[in-house]
């Protein structure tokens, strides 16, 4: 059935299709129709970052930037949903068009630019959710905030989302906000992680509850840069790492229409690079450090490969666009079977 729906949605401009798809999911949830059309996703709990994930397959940030469709997406069977990226103040994002499909490569390029309704709106939406799975909130900085003052934007978001979120993801790896990726390196990274960790500890004492912090990184890092990021995350006491965001390397789609559009590339071409980063992180961080794997999961086998590369749980985004909700169940079942074979 999703194949027919996708054909219809793909006749629309990508961003309009995105909005229409979310509206359909939300309407289906409101009318109670989702359970009649969606495959049942089995429970397969995973303990990670002190949290119990109902199953190891989540939705990556970017699909539901404002948490407006949280319950509808939750009804599809995701074990966890990451909403955002959210910024302190609302912002429109980059000029349209800013989202491009590359169907023959099962890929997407976006340069959305953190378009969102602001952190206060998102917190209201998350606070009223009925979805019982894990909710992560992905935080970023406003475009108009200088990189030198970025820490204050991240601190503002952290304080506001702290009680609403189950975990907080710190996004310093989007290629669509000028200067943002510079925060992944050197003293800028250490200072950002240090101030966020200090504030997390303050908030944990104030509210008597602990919300894990995870850092989301880019795939476009050298081996040395991966080591430095891993050292910083571990040294500053972060609770997890999310690998990876979209890539700026478009050589695998350079022969396609839209293949040279500015922005971040996601989907099948990202898979191998993401897996390499995850493997490198696992080697640096040891067997116990939580890693959320994302990037290029288009099939159940891709999800298994993420786990074998070193991820504890996985997130999908472009695969969900191209394959539909059945991918959630297929990935959960494949991961469950693969882990059972390894025991």
Is 174 one of the annotated active-site residues of the chain?
yes
Is 65 marked within a binding site? yes
Is 245 marked within a binding site? yes
* 304, 317, 136, 123 alpha-carbon torsion, rounded to 10°: -170
Rounded to whole angstroms, the Cα distance separating 241 from 26 reads 30
Nearest CA-CA partner of 195 in 226, 149, 160: 149
Is 234 marked within a binding site? no
Is 207 marked within a binding site? no
Rounded to whole angstroms, the Cα distance separating 339 from 343 reads 7
Is 176 marked within a binding site? yes
Is 324 marked within a binding site? no
Block residue for tokens 């599809």: 76
Here the tokens at position 228 are: 């430095």
Is 2 marked within a binding site? no
Here the tokens at position 279 are: 């493997």
For the chain, the straight-line distance linking the first and the last C-alpha, in angstroms and rounded, comes to 36
Q: Would residue 110 be called left, alpha or beta, if left means φ above 0 and alpha means ψ between -120 and 50 degrees?
A: beta
* Alpha-carbon distances, residue 88 vs 46, 147, 215, 236, 342 (angstroms): 32, 14, 18, 24, 44
Here the tokens at position 44 are: 């397969």
Is 113 marked within a binding site? yes
Report the number of secondary-structure helices (H) and strands (E) in the chain. 12, 13
Is 267 marked within a binding site? yes
Is 98 marked within a binding site? no
Is 202 marked within a binding site? no
Here the tokens at position 314 are: 């996985």
Is 138 marked within a binding site? yes
Please enumerate in sequence order all residues whose Cβ is within 8 A of that of 196, keeping only pairs 6 or more positions apart, or say none: 151, 154, 155, 158, 170, 213
Is 296 marked within a binding site? yes
Is 63 marked within a binding site? yes
Is 216 marked within a binding site? yes
Q: Which of 132, 173, 174, 198 is catalytic?
A: 174
- Give the residue ranges of the annotated binding site for FMN: 61-65, 85, 138, 171, 216, 244, 267, 296, 317-318
Catalytic residues: 174
- Give the residue ranges of the annotated binding site for substrate: 65, 110-114, 171, 176, 245-246
- Give the residue ranges of the annotated binding site: 61-65, 85, 110-114, 138, 171, 176, 216, 244-246, 267, 296, 317-318
């Amino acid at each position: 059935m999703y194949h027919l729906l996708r054909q219809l949605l793909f006749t629309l401009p990508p961003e309009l299709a995105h909005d229409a798809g979310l509206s359909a999911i939300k309407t289906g949830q409101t009318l109670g129709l989702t359970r009649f059309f969606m495959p049942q996703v089995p429970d397969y709990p995973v303990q990670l970052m002190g949290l119990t994930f109902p199953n190891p397959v989540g939705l990556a940030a970017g699909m539901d930037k404002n948490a407006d469709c949280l319950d509808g997406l939750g009804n599809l069977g995701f074990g966890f949903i990451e909403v955002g990226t959210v910024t302190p103040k609302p912002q429109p994002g980059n000029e349209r068009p800013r989202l491009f499909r590359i169907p023959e490569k099962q890929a997407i390029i976006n340069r959305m630019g953190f378009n969102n309704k602001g952190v206060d709106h998102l917190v209201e939406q998350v606070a009223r959710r009925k979805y019982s799975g894990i909710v992560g909130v992905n935080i970023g900085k406003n475009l108009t905030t200088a990189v030198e003052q970025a820490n204050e934007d991240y601190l503002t978001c952290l304080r506001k989302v702290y009680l609403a979120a189950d975990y907080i993801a710190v996004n310093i790896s989007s290629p669509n906000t000028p200067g943002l990726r510079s925060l992944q390196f050197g003293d800028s990274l250490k200072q950002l992680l240090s101030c966020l960790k200090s504030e997390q500890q303050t908030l944990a004492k104030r509210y008597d509850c602990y919300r894990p912090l995870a850092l989301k990184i880019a795939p476009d890092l050298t081996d040395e840069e991966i080591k430095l990021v891993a050292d910083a995350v571990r040294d500053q006491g972060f609770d997890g790492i999310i690998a990876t965001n979209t890539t700026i390397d478009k050589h695998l789609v350079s022969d396609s229409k839209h293949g040279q559009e500015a922005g971040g590339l996601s989907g099948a071409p990202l898979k191998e690079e993401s897996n390499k980063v995850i493997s490198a992180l696992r080697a640096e961080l040891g067997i116990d450090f939580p890693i959320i794997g994302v990037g290029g999961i288009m099939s159940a086998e891709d999800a298994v490969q993420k786990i074998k590369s070193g991820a504890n749980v996985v997130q999908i985004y472009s695969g969900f666009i191209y394959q539909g909700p059945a991918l959630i169940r297929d990935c959960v079942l494949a991961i469950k079977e693969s882990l059972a074979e390894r025991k």
